[in-house]
Every structure is written in structure tokens, then in C-alpha cells.
Structure 1
């Protein structure tokens, strides 16, 4: 579906500051979302299946070897461990489950764990399966599809013109090649980026139109959650009204894509979280993120239900796909869902929990960034000592879960 506005109009809308005008823009985006998707939703959850020690220099990421932040580590999960976290996601009301690993790619052994984990999730849950495992060839993408993966996530992160400020070791062209390989293998694509990396309004519009050209099934929208000791560690959070405005603008540029709120949504949106959903969102990343904590399941579901949206499970792995299986290639019987009642709190199930399952390895030395930039730290980091889930040594600013 082509964009509903031009680049010039998108830039004009990006200059709007009056809250009443932003609310009018949100209503416009809401109508587009309802016309395309009705009351359906697309709720997702993830597991950080392998973390830490990444050789790349992405400026937002604490897992990078070039970041001065302590490295969040844990080894590749077993297929059974992946399944346990998938069951928790299903109990929370997620419709799909993504297996995420760090780095540009996986070894054959680690890939096999992802493939076996995907097969278990397909056999024992009613969740759709996604993977985010770095760069890949068409052959590797076909292996994912044969194992039951239906959608592959691979972000462009930002506009091509700003990309050299974000990473110099992972080329933008390489990201596009991976996305093309995923499409050639017959898989759905999940491609988005991160707002507030220092890009200009013009570059935000540029990224949105680049995404429109890619035409992904799903677009994850992240907002920078600055991690001390990374290149972008001293950036301020995004103004909530600014964030909501840009979500609505992206919806008008990408009217046919599924939008989900992901990393940084808790910290950046605050009390405007529900308004952001109305700006055109189909779902959120439920549970926790890669290295930071998320919301409670009942709070996430309530944001959508208050807008009259349907978050209930659907028997849709088989012959009656909802919009989140846009290509419609799935067939077969729907597995029996083992969880009858949705949970309200993460404490009720075995969620991926970075506060417990990650260990943080201190770095004795950090190589200089390839682009010559310095890592940065905020002037003040607030720590909520009352929250037992807050990882030791971390405050309200955690690493980006893109």
C-alpha cells in the first residue's frame, strides 16, 4: 500500500508542536489503522536467546565490544529453555514469539538450537514464530522457514544518510541484502528502526519512506533508551508528544504495515503510552526486552482493550489467518493452547528476565570506536531501589532492545 502523504507533507507535520494539532494528527492515523486492520492486534514477546560480546560498533548497544558499559552476557539457550519462555509469552496473551541473538550471525550449532526451539514452539503452543539472528543467506532463511519460523526481524535502524553515525562495522547495504534474502525464502519481514539517535526530522522522514520502499509486513518502532557508556549514552529521552507525533506520521507513510512499540517505549512515552497506541499501533512487545524490563501483561492488554481492540487469542495458525499472517502461506491444524486463562503479572510465568538471567561482565579495556567517537555517560542516572527487578548497577536507563 503506497504512502498516504508526500515527503513534503510529512516534514510539515513533523514541525507541528501544538498538542491539539498533534491530537488531530493522531485521529487521522487512527482512522487509517482501523480501516486497514479493524479491531485486530498483533502482540509479540521475545527471548534474548544469546547475549553479549558483540563485535560490532552500533552506537546504541551495550552489547558492543566498543561500549564501556558492562557486557550483559549469557550463553545460547537450549531449545527447551526457549520453549519455556514461549509458554510464558503465550500465557501473557502474546500472539507471536521472537527468538533473538546478538551479533551479525550464528554458528551452525547455535542456529540448530534456534531451529529446534522453533519446532518445539510450533508443536506445543499456538504462537507464531519469529527470529532475529543477524545477517543471513537465502539458504539459511529457508532453513528457518522449514523449522516453522514465519517472520524474520532485521532493522535498518535509521535513515541511510545518518547510518554511518550509528554503525561503521555493519553496512547498510548488508542489512538490505539480508531483508532481500528473507523475502526470497518466502518469509515475512519485520523491519524498523530507532527514533532519537540524533537524526534530523528530514532523516526520520527519509527512514519512513525507505521502509515504505522495502514494504515489510511489520515495523517495530523503538525509541532510544540511552545506555551509559555507549556512543549515545548521554542523550535525553524523547519528548512523549514528539514521539507520538512521529508514530502517527509513520502510520500515514506506511498504512499497510503492522506497527508495534518495542524498546524504549516504557521510558520515553510515560503517560502517553495509550495515546501512542491510538497513533496507529497494532501491538507491543510484551514482557521484557533484551536487557531491560518491560510492562506487566494486564497493563499492556488494557491499553488496547480501552480503545475497543481485540487482544484475545485467535485460532489462526491454520486456515484462517489474521492480518499478522499477511502472506497467508500457513496451513495445518491449530495446536491446542495449553493455557486457558491469561496471566496479569510476569511473576505468574517463566518470562525472560534480564534482571535475573543476565550476568554483567566488567571490561578491563575497551578498543576505540572505529569512527573515532567517544562513549558518553549521562550527568545523572536514577535508580529505583524499590523495584526488586531492577538489575544491580542499572537505573532507569538500560540498553536498547531494538
Structure 2
């Protein structure tokens, strides 16, 4: 589906600062979202299946070996551990689950573990399955599909013209080749990027229209959460109104993409997250992120439900479908015990059923890196914030 606005209009909208005009833009994006998706939602969750020690130099990432930032550090999870996280995600109300690993490729041994994890999640949950494993070729893409993966995530991160500022060790063209391999294997594509890396407004529009040319199934938007000790570690958070404005612009440029807000949403938007939902989101990343904690999934479900959006699991695509089919590879529909008891803990206890929820306070374990890290290949310094965050403004109520 073609963009609903031109590049020139997107550039003009990107310059808006008046809040009433931004609210009018939000309403326009909300109408576009409803026209394409109705009240459907697409809520994700992920597991950081292999963390820390990445050989690449992406300037936003604490997992880079060139960053001085602290980060969770662990080897590849066992398949059974991935399944445990998937079950927790399902209990929290997620519709899909992504297994994510650091770096631009996995060893054969680690890749086999991920494939087995995907098979277990396919067999034992009703979740849609996604993977984010760096660069892959056609052979590995087909193996992922055979293991039960439905969609593969691989971001372009930013506009092509700004990309050299983001990474000097991972080529932009290589990212596109991975996306092509995923599509040729018959898998859905998940391709997005990060805002507030220092790119210009023109480059944000550039990225939006580059994504429109790629035409991915899903577009995750991340808002930089500056990690002290990374190349972009001293950047300020985005103004919430600015972030909301750009979510709406991306919705109008990508009207048929499953648009979701992921990393940095809590830190940048704070109390204004529901406004961003109304600016055109299909869903958010629930649970924890790769190296940072997130909000309570119950709050996320409430945030969407208050706008009249359907967060419930549905059996299949029907008269009022969600954007995907949760039955996946299962032979047939099975009773969803988690859904039955998710919001009724007393009934669950009476039935002798324990549903494990996410506990953000215990999900991540940080370890300090060695004091000496190698210099960044691009010669840029790691940076640290110089001042405290600005006070949090109050958010307005939203009406549908």
C-alpha cells in the first residue's frame, strides 16, 4: 500500500511544534490505523537469548565490546529456558514472542539451540514465533521457517545517509540482503529503526520512505534510551510531543505495516504513551527489552483497552481478525488455559493453576565490563550524560 502522504508533506509535518496541530496529526493517523486494522492489536514480547560481548560497534548498543556501558552478559540460553520465557510472555498477554541474540551471526551450535527453542515454543504455546539473529542467508532462513518461526526481525536502524554514523562494522547493504533472504524463504519481515541518534528531520523522513520501499510486515520504532558509556550515551531523551509526532508520520508513510513501539518508550514518552498508541500503533514490545527493564504488561494491556482496542487472543482470522493467525502450526485449536485464568487469579488458585507473570525487578542481571575496552573502529568516543533528566510533565487524558 502506497504512503498516504508525500515526502514533502512528511517534511512539513516533521516541522510541527504547535500541540494543537500535532493533535490534529494524531487524529489523522488514528483514522488511518482504524481504517486498515480496525480494533486489532499485535503485542510482542522477547527474550534476550544471548547477551553481551558483541563484536560490532553500533553506537547505541551497550552490548558492543567497544562500549564501556554495563550490560547483561550470558551465553546462548538452552532451548528449555527460551520456552520458559515464552510461557511467561503468553501469561502476560503477548500475541507473539521473539528470540533475540547479539551480534551479526550465530555459530552452528548456537543456531541449533535457537532452532530447538523455536520448535519448543511452537509445540507448547499458542504464540506466533519471531527471531532476530543478525545476518542470515537463504539456507538459514529456510531452517528458521521449518522450525516454526513466522517472522524474522532485522532493522536498518536509521536512514541510509546517516548509517555510517551508527555503525562502521555492519554494512547497510548487508542488512538489506538479510531482509531479501528472509522474504525469499517465505517468512514475514520485521524491519525498523531508532529515532534520536542524531539524525536530521530530513533523514527521519528518508528512513520512513526507505522502509516503505522495503515494505516489511512489521515496523518496530525505537526511541533512543541513551546508555552511558556508548557513542550516543550523552544524548537527551526526545520530547514526548516530538516522539508522538514522528510515530504519526511513520503511520501515514507506512499505512499497512504493523507499527509497534519498542525500546525507549517508557523513558522518552513517560505518561504520554497512550497518546503514541493513538498516533497509529498496532502494538508495543511487552515485558523487558534487551538490556533495560520495561513497564508492567498489565499496564500495557490497559493502555490499549482504554482506547477501545481489542487485546484479547482470538482463535483465527475471522470477521474481525487480528493481523495474524495465532493457531500457527498447531494441528487445531486447543483450550487456552492461560487466557481463561489470566485476569482471575482467585479462580486460577482454586483450580490449582499457577500462572507465572513477568517480574521486571528480577529479569535482568548486569555485569560490569573490564575497565579497558578497545577503541571504537570509527574513532568516536564513548559518552556519558552530564546532567539529570528534565522533570516529567503531566499527560492529558485521551478520548476516542
Q: TM-score, normalised by structure 2?
A: 0.90
Write the deviation string for residues 369-392 of structure 1: whole angstroms up to 9, x where unpaired: 11111110001467xxxxxxxxxx
**How far apart are residue 362 of structure 1 and its match?**
2.3
1:122 corresponds to which residue?
122
2:373 corresponds to which residue?
366
SS of match in other structure, 1:325 = coil
- 5+ residue gaps in structure 2? 346-353, 390-400
1:138 corresponds to which residue?
138
Q: Does 1:269 align with 2:269?
A: yes
CA–CA separation in structure 2 for the residues paired with 1:350 and 1:79: 20
Taking a change above 3 Å as real, the CA distance of residues 307 and 319 of structure 1, as seen in their structure-2 partners, is closer
Taking a change above 3 Å as real, the CA distance of residues 57 and 51 of structure 1, as seen in their structure-2 partners, is same
1:257 corresponds to which residue?
257
Query: Bigger shift: 108-117 or 163-172?
Result: 108-117
CA–CA separation in structure 2 for the residues paired with 1:47 and 1:184: 26
Contact 2:118 2:129 in 1 (8 A): yes
CA–CA separation in structure 2 for the residues paired with 1:222 and 1:80: 29
1:395 corresponds to which residue?
none
Contact 2:128 2:328 in 1 (8 A): no
Paired residues for 1:240-319 under 5 Å: 240-316=240-316
Query: Bigger shift: 140-149 or 64-73?
Result: 64-73
- 5+ residue gaps in structure 1? 383-402
Write the deviation string for residues 14-72 of structure 1: whole angstroms up to 9, x where unpaired: 01100000000000000000000000100000000010100000000010011111342
CA–CA separation in structure 1 for the residues paired with 2:3 and 2:222: 21
CA–CA separation in structure 2 for the residues paired with 1:354 and 1:116: 28
Corresponding pairs, count: 379
Taking a change above 3 Å as real, the CA distance of residues 321 and 126 of structure 1, as seen in their structure-2 partners, is farther
1:349 corresponds to which residue?
356
Contact 1:298 1:343 in 2 (8 A): no
2:201 corresponds to which residue?
201
**Cα RMSD, aligned residues only:** 2.2
Taking a change above 3 Å as real, the CA distance of residues 173 and 9 of structure 1, as seen in their structure-2 partners, is same
Q: Does 1:334 align with 2:341?
A: no
CA–CA separation in structure 2 for the residues paired with 1:6 and 1:126: 39
CA–CA separation in structure 2 for the residues paired with 1:267 and 1:233: 14
CA–CA separation in structure 2 for the residues paired with 1:320 and 1:82: 33
1:386 corresponds to which residue?
none
CA–CA separation in structure 1 for the residues paired with 2:355 and 2:384: 36
